[in-house]
Structure 1
């Protein structure tokens, strides 16, 4: 295990590298205490041979539930486990992963939640779009060919009538499933001088909102592709966003993003 610290815009973290870089693309999966959900997701990835298309890297926020057992992750085809030790939540986990991807020289990054709601078998479709020259590829359960199964009514209304319209207005193009973290980015996009994702202002959900809009704002190619998102039949549905406080914070992020508050400083002048 190797420790990394004092990297500008990146939280302190440790890396357990089970394999060297194998593929040209990487799947980053932010997790924290996902239990059997991430294990089942990785089993599905192994069944569909996703590691033949992209290296799988877990971006752990400090799980203590045993879901990051090293021997099991190796058996399930995980390439690397990154363990965040510095401050921050999802945004910090993704910055850690993005830096790792830059450092290894991947051509593009696919991100997906680790709660087994998304169709990880569709990873090759994202890679195809990156190879076609797209810089931001958003997965959407609402496109023809996609599936939204057992989506909670409140979440459905919030996505379709609040989140997606605000993101679309900010991006200057229409998106349909903007809360969906299942998306792909070209390295060209993430390393563009007008993007700069490795900044400490991205601590929670700011980075997802920002990267949803920035590509089209600076004239890069964007698209959506159909994916599936399936919520469990029973029990508490998996999410890290609390009903009131979390959604209010998310709305605040959307409005700040619309005002350009997350744009690089030199681009605000």
Structure 2
């Protein structure tokens, strides 16, 4: 086990990497988190039971959590390969940029991403690996495909995905996607390193990168698709999300419009 701080690299946030193990697999699973507490612990336990830590190197992309959920020895016991700790500005987009950069530098052929709030069927990772092996460059996980499940999805959120988010993403991508808000997806190395993609830009601070990568692959004629997954919200209590109802959703609509207008294209 060793740790190091990345150098000042344009478009990549400053972060500390703690490599618990060396690279072991062809693909990696990047999980962005910030103070997910027991949700990420439960998710990693599910991943271990399903053998996901043997199929992919699990990389935690931490936004500098303070809740104790990222204690190194516990993560090691849960099958985590590496933890990246962001020491810079930015939210989810910045966490994903450091994860993608680390993955490319380490030589992975593809990167799978999933939220760290235990809502998604992490057991579905093999479906994404199969698609990467078949030459797909971007694959979106969808709860709305046959075989997928949307469990306890808030009514308003369900409508927003089906009537606003997915249609706008599909129009922008020139390819129909059924579930565009889900961060459970995969990206080939070819896609992430394509000269007309350039994900390592500071403009991708929050949710811009998710929206942009949803559409850019098909715009460039790369191979894209979807696989069925399950997304389950808790029956009771607060909804695990980092998007506030008013400001967060307003910013999300703004990002979708900018994406439609091509403002994130290099």
Matches within 5 A, 1:57-76: 57-76=59-78
**1:52, distance to aligned residue in structure 2 (A):** 1.5
3-state SS in 1 of match to 2:80: coil
- The match for 1:256 is 258
> What are the superposed Cα offsets for residues 73-108 of structure 1, whole Å, 9 maximum, x if unpaired?
000000000000011000000000000001000000
- The match for 2:146 is 144
3-state SS in 2 of match to 1:79: strand
3-state SS in 2 of match to 1:263: coil
Q: Does 1:5 align with 2:7?
A: yes
Contact 1:5-1:11 at 8 Å conserved across structures = no
* Cα distance in 2 between the residues matched to 1:6 and 1:239: 31
**1:62, distance to aligned residue in structure 2 (A):** 1.1
TM-score (norm 2): 0.99
Q: Does 1:231 align with 2:233?
A: yes
**1:5, distance to aligned residue in structure 2 (A):** 3.1
- The match for 1:168 is 170
3-state SS in 2 of match to 1:154: helix
- Structure 2: 5+ residue stretches without partners: none
- The match for 1:124 is 126
> What are the superposed Cα offsets for residues 106-143 of structure 1, whole Å, 9 maximum, x if unpaired?
00000000000000011011000011011000000000
Contact 1:84-1:93 at 8 Å conserved across structures = yes
3-state SS in 2 of match to 1:133: coil
- When structure 1 is superposed on structure 2, of 2-11 and 89-98 the one drifting more is 2-11
- How large is the RMSD of aligned CA atoms in angstroms? 0.5
> What are the superposed Cα offsets for residues 149-204 of structure 1, whole Å, 9 maximum, x if unpaired?
00001110110000000000000010000000000000001101010101110000
- Structure 1: 5+ residue stretches without partners: 265-269
3-state SS in 1 of match to 2:103: helix
* Cα distance in 2 between the residues matched to 1:167 and 1:99: 25
- The match for 2:50 is 48
Aligned with residue 210 of structure 1, among 202, 209, 212: 212
- The match for 1:221 is 223
- The match for 1:81 is 83
- The match for 2:18 is 16
**1:4, distance to aligned residue in structure 2 (A):** 1.2
**1:209, distance to aligned residue in structure 2 (A):** 0.1
In the TM superposition, structure 1's runs of 4+ consecutive aligned residues that sit over 3 Å from their partners are none
Aligned with residue 186 of structure 1, among 176, 185, 188: 188
- The match for 1:267 is none
* Cα distance in 1 between the residues matched to 2:192 and 2:72: 30
- The match for 2:111 is 109
Equivalenced residues, count: 264
3-state SS in 2 of match to 1:28: strand
* Cα distance in 2 between the residues matched to 1:24 and 1:130: 10
* Cα distance in 2 between the residues matched to 1:201 and 1:55: 28
